[in-house]
Amino acid sequence: MDLKSSTAALGYTTARPATLPQPGDDGVEKTFAAAAQGLSDTIRNAEQTAMSSMTGGADPHALVQALAQTELAVETAITIRDKVVEAYQEILRMPV
């Protein structure tokens, strides 16, 4: 098999753009933005419920439920962060 350096360079040049991320509305960015917004909404809801409970406007059951939802959301975000960091570190360990 005869490979010339110009042929290999041309093949690499044409293949390189396929590896670049394509910006768009239907990608990972939109998914992560929606997840971050959901986490923010959950935390905001728990804070409002806690303030309302302190002033006597909400029952303690609603406060416990809001805090449990917030705890679950934060634990999920931490787990996702840990997995992303782990994947990044694994990529850095790959031989080039």
pLDDT tens digit sequence for 20-65:
556 665 677 788 888 889 999 999 999 999 999 888 887 888 889 9
Alpha helices, DSSP H only, in 20-59?
28-54
What pLDDT does 96 receive? 77
What pLDDT does 57 receive? 82
Global pTM?
0.62
Does residue 18 form part of some domain? Answer: no
Which range (5-14, 24-33, 45-54, 86-95) has the least confidence?
A: 5-14
What pLDDT does 34 receive? 87
State which residues form the domain around 32: 25-93
**Number of domains into which the chain is organized:** 1
Does residue 1 form part of some domain? Answer: no
Residue 18 tokens, joined:
């396929």
Please name which of 71, 37, 67, 36 lies closest in space to residue 49, comparing C-alpha atoms: 67
Does residue 5 form part of some domain? Answer: no
